[in-house]
Structure formats: structure tokens, C-alpha cells
Chain A
């Protein structure tokens, strides 16, 4: 509750800052201090201190797991805003409004980590996505940004409609919005309400797949990620996506039993098509930004493994994967922001002119590809292990590993451009502080590559 209330209040404060305080630097500082307060308040709840404590009538359930994920989201947002403060300020003097939207998104994310009711799921998802539509169209003079925002808005509202239809069906079958263990099981000889419950769950499944950009519901992703300003793409592809996954897992960990064998079939289909589309199409991209959009689809395929079955590997793995993937993606987009163009050629010869920047970029790419010694390796390991623990067929694991190998190809194209192709990289000026923040992210990834359990050890103590 603390996180939801405090993030809303901070959003309101940032809103007033937009006309009270003119200095961009002060606004940035206020946002960072606000995030710090948010982290503290969330940690306070983790230790049993509340701003207000009342009966939510089964709407929200605050577990240690959800609260801990909140903390991680806020920390990653802190790093993100610390890194991108200057870039956010570039948009027409309204940085404070954007910070307000970030806080509202975090409010949505903290609802999604603690909802216990399908109504709250709906409100959480909407609070998460409406600010995103605006952030996508933040670059008002750029036609691509406008197009992306409109596309995202139309498709997003449509998918929300499907989500609501699914929730209605579930309500019709069970008579409640609560996320309890399904009363109706396939083994009970398929009672009539079972059909409606299954249809509802499948509709919710489709809508959630849209929100986390899993194939075959991924068509908006490349256009929106490409059209949106790079700073906001970086936020969209990381924290928002991870929050969507947490919600996704919460619903289907308790409800997947109602679908019986259909669930495994449908999920396997979605996983394989996501991995296929994401990885294969990414190979043929000429723009780094578009390649990263497809790679984020492919990473979503890996994150879907956590849905396969309930196990401690899935629970820990999704946290590790979210953190590692978010850090690496924020880093690589951070480098991309400083490029004058988005093509692979822009990175030519980066290792000669800016060796440190080229090195951290390599770490981010290694982590995304899942090379050992970076966090990405253990993230992928945990996800594959969760698949195994849930009793998936070996063929699915082998397919996943094959596609992970394909992903190495397109990530290494960038490494090759930086180290083995001569040329002059076309870059904006990179401040020292910026490079060192990127280096810090890279070091965090290396630490996670050596000691992955530091992320989720805290869950148990």
C-alpha cells in the first residue's frame, strides 16, 4: 500500500513542479529524491510499517515477494532516471510532466505486483499503459513518434477490450473477481461453467500476451519501439514489460489448472512462435533500434518459461531475468541515445575512439545473449531450469537453447561493428558521468553473473 500511495503523491508533486520549478536540474533532483523516498517507504512496508493499514476487501494482497519486486523496480527506475536525466529534459521543457508519468507507471507496476482481484489487474494494467501511450508520442514534431503513439493507443485499447471480455467470462463462470485456486477443474468431468472459464482465461491470456509483446500478438512492438523516443523505448521495454510479466504469472499460476492440457499446448505454441519471430526477424534488421525491438520480443519468449509451471526456479528466475534484462537493455539503449543514427554502421570503429564505451556495450550485449560471466547466463539458466522443473518436454528446452544461439548472431554483429570494422562513429558528445554510470550498470551485470543469488536471497530473510 505504501508504494501505491507514495508513488501517486510523488506523481502529483512532480505535476506541480512542472509550473513551480523551471530549472530542469532541480526537477531531475526532485525526481531522484522522490524515488529514494519511494524505495524507503516500500522497504518500510517490507518491515511492517504502514502509512495506512486497512482492509482492502481482498482487492490487494501484499506478499513479501511482490513488495521485494517493487523495490527492484524502483531501484532500476532510479538507475534509469539517473542515467537519462539530460535526455528527458530535451523534450520541450516539460521534464517534470514526464517524471510525473513515470511515477504513475510505478504506481501501476506496484498494483500489478500485489493484485488479488481481476478488477485490480485491469486498473493496474491501464495505469501502466495510458502514460506509455503519451510517452510514445512525446516527440510531437516527429511523425514516426505520432504514428507509433496512435498505433499503440488503438491496439492497446483493443487488447484491453479483450482483457475485459475475458474477465467478464471468468466472472460469469465463477461469480467472483477473486484470484483463488480454480474451483472448477477439468478432472471434474467438465462442468458447464468450465467452458466459460476456459474461454475467459484464454481471452485474458491473449490480452496479456499483447501487453508483454509475445508473438502472435507482437505486431505493434517494432513500430512502437522504433517510433518512440529512444529514452522512453528504454523504459517501455524494461520495467513496464517486467511488471506485465509479474501480473501474467500471478494470474496463471493460480488459474492455469482450470485449462488442463490445453494450457501446455497454447503456451508452448506462444513460446515457440515468440522465440521464432523475435530471433529470426531480428537477424535481418538494418537498424539497431529495430533489432533491439525484435530482441525484446525474443527475450519475452524466454520470460514466458516462468508461466509453464509453479516452481521456486520460476519464481526466482523471473526476478533475476527481469533485473538482468532491464539493466542490460537500459544500458544498450543508453549507448544508442548518444548515436546520431540508429544503423549498425554508426557503431563502426567505436572501440578505437571510445574504448570504455565499446567495452560496456559489449558487456550489455553479452548479457542479452546469455554468455557466461554476465548476468544473462544465469538468468537464462534459471528460466530453462524452471521449464525442466515444471516437467516440460526436452524438445522445448532444446528449441529454446537453439534460439538463444541464434540470438548470439545478431548481438555479435554489433560487437563486430565496434571492434573489427574501421570507421568513424557518429556520436553526440558523451559526458564522463554518463560513461561511468554505464560502467556501473555493466559492473552490476558482471556481479550478477558471478553471484546471481544476491538478487533473490533477500526474498527469504
Chain B
């Protein structure tokens, strides 16, 4: 086992355990804090995949900005843990069955693909995840979706104005 594999398994374990904790903690604030840990673990995975820029952006945007927003909303709404609505048993059961089938599908996919097993990520060039190649890809091959996504943000902004107006 080399250092990469040890890091991979450690980060994966951290991500899975904190993701489970997000779901089972009774206090919503704790859930959000665990979610931050999930994002950090995923950022670690990005670094292992040589996507440094993505890792940093993930921490700044998700673990930073969005989680702070989450916490603000939680505190503004003053969510109490005893107020959490209880789901009926059959709803829980349906969820378990649906999620379980999907998990089975994913595990089967990975198990069937013997070509996936025991293979490291392809790293052609160490600079692949840096800003320079990323910018080049965004402004040459992917310029159309990059520019058109501005329409998406514009419509979201108009929407925010409409909802926010008195």
C-alpha cells in the first residue's frame, strides 16, 4: 500500500462517515458542520486527482460561502431539534428500498467492470488541474456553454428580484 492508497482510503472513510452523520444527527446545526467535513474530504479527493484549482474552489465556495449561508438560515429560522417532523414508517421503508436498489446498481457497476479495478487515475500531465489549462479549455472548447450559463445566472437574478420585491 503506497501513500496514495492510504490517503484515498482515509479520505473516503472520512467522507462516508461524515455523510452518514449529516443524515443521522438530530440537531440541524450539527448536520451542517458534518457537511463541511464532507466537503473537505471531497476536496482532498480532488487534490489526489490532481485537480488543485477545483479543490480550492470547492473549499471557498461550498465549505465557505454556501455553508455560512446554511448556518445563517438555520439560525434565523431557529430550527429546534424536537420540532423535526417524523416521517411515517412506510415512507421510510420506501426510501430505504429505493436507495438500497440504487446502491446495489452502483456496486454492481463497479464490480462488473474489471477494467476499473486496481487502476490508478490517469495523470498525463501534472499541470492538468491548474488555472492555466482550465482557462484555456473554458475559452476554447467550452466557450459556448460557459457564455450561455450567464443567461442562467441572469434569470436566477431576475427571479431573486421578483421574489424579494414587496
Residues 143 to 166 of chain B near chain A (Cβ within 8 Å): 143-145, 148-149, 151-152, 154-156, 158-159, 161-163, 165
Is B142 positioned at the interface, with any CB of A under 8 Å from its CB?
A: yes
Is B88 positioned at the interface, with any CB of A under 8 Å from its CB?
A: no
Which of B108, B145, B151 contacts A104 (CB under 8 A)?
B151
Q: Is the interface of A mostly helix, strand, loop or mixed?
A: helix
Q: Which residue of B lies closest to A146 (CB)?
A: B163
Contact status of A195 and B113, CB under 8 A, knowing A101-B155, A101-B158, A134-B163: yes
B148 near A104: Cβ-Cβ < 8 Å:
no
Q: Is the interface of B mostly helix, strand, loop or mixed?
A: helix
Which of B116, B142, B149, B155 contacts A131 (CB under 8 A)?
B155
Q: Chain B contacts of A131 at CB under 8 A?
A: 155, 158-159
Q: Chain B contacts of A94 at CB under 8 A?
A: 162, 165
Which of B109, B114, B154 contacts A196 (CB under 8 A)?
B109
Query: C-beta contact mask, A124-139 vs B, less than 8 Å → 1, else 0?
Result: 0011001101100110
Residues 127 to 151 of chain B near chain A (Cβ within 8 Å): 140-145, 148-149, 151
Which of B108, B112, B162 contacts A134 (CB under 8 A)?
B162
Q: Which residue of B lies closest to A57 (CB)?
A: B141
Q: Chain A contacts of B154 at CB under 8 A?
A: 8, 11-12, 15, 104
Chain A contact-residue range equals 35 or more
Query: C-beta contact mask, B84-127 vs A, less than 8 Å → 1, else 0?
Result: 00000000000000000000010011001111100000000000
Residues 1 to 50 of chain A near chain B (Cβ within 8 Å): 4, 8, 11-12, 15
Q: A288: shortest Cβ distance to chain B, in Å?
A: 27
B115 near A192: Cβ-Cβ < 8 Å:
yes
A100 near B158: Cβ-Cβ < 8 Å:
yes
Q: Chain A contacts of B144 at CB under 8 A?
A: 56-57, 59-60, 120
Q: Chain B contacts of A15 at CB under 8 A?
A: 154, 158
Q: Chain B contacts of A443 at CB under 8 A?
A: none
A120 near B145: Cβ-Cβ < 8 Å:
yes
Leading 6 A-B pairs by shortest Cβ distance = A134-B159, A104-B155, A59-B144, A192-B113, A119-B145, A56-B144
Contact status of A97 and B113, CB under 8 A, knowing A56-B144, A131-B155: no
Q: B60: shortest Cβ distance to chain A, in Å?
A: 21
Contact status of A4 and B162, CB under 8 A, knowing A130-B156, A192-B115: no
16 A-B pairs with C-beta separation under 8 A: A4-B148, A11-B151, A15-B158, A56-B144, A97-B158, A104-B151, A104-B155, A107-B151, A117-B145, A131-B158, A138-B162, A140-B163, A192-B114, A195-B113, A196-B109, A196-B113
Is A111 positioned at the interface, with any CB of B under 8 Å from its CB?
A: yes
Which of A92, A119, A127 contacts B151 (CB under 8 A)?
A127
Is A283 positioned at the interface, with any CB of B under 8 Å from its CB?
A: no
Q: Which residue of B lies closest to A105 (CB)?
A: B155
Is A277 positioned at the interface, with any CB of B under 8 Å from its CB?
A: no
Is A199 positioned at the interface, with any CB of B under 8 Å from its CB?
A: yes
Contact status of A123 and B158, CB under 8 A, knowing A134-B163, A192-B113: no
Q: A157: shortest Cβ distance to chain B, in Å?
A: 12
B152 near A127: Cβ-Cβ < 8 Å:
yes
Q: A211: shortest Cβ distance to chain B, in Å?
A: 16
- A126–B154 Cα distance when bound, in Å, is 12
Which of A8, A101, A119 contacts B159 (CB under 8 A)?
A101
A137 near B163: Cβ-Cβ < 8 Å:
yes
A8 near B151: Cβ-Cβ < 8 Å:
yes
A123 near B149: Cβ-Cβ < 8 Å:
yes
Q: Which residue of A lies closest to B159 (CB)?
A: A134
Residues 111 to 165 of chain A near chain B (Cβ within 8 Å): 111, 117, 119-120, 123, 126-127, 130-131, 133-134, 137-138, 140
Residues 334 to 379 of chain A near chain B (Cβ within 8 Å): none
B162 near A130: Cβ-Cβ < 8 Å:
no
Q: Which residue of B lies closest to A98 (CB)?
A: B162
Q: Chain A contacts of B149 at CB under 8 A?
A: 123
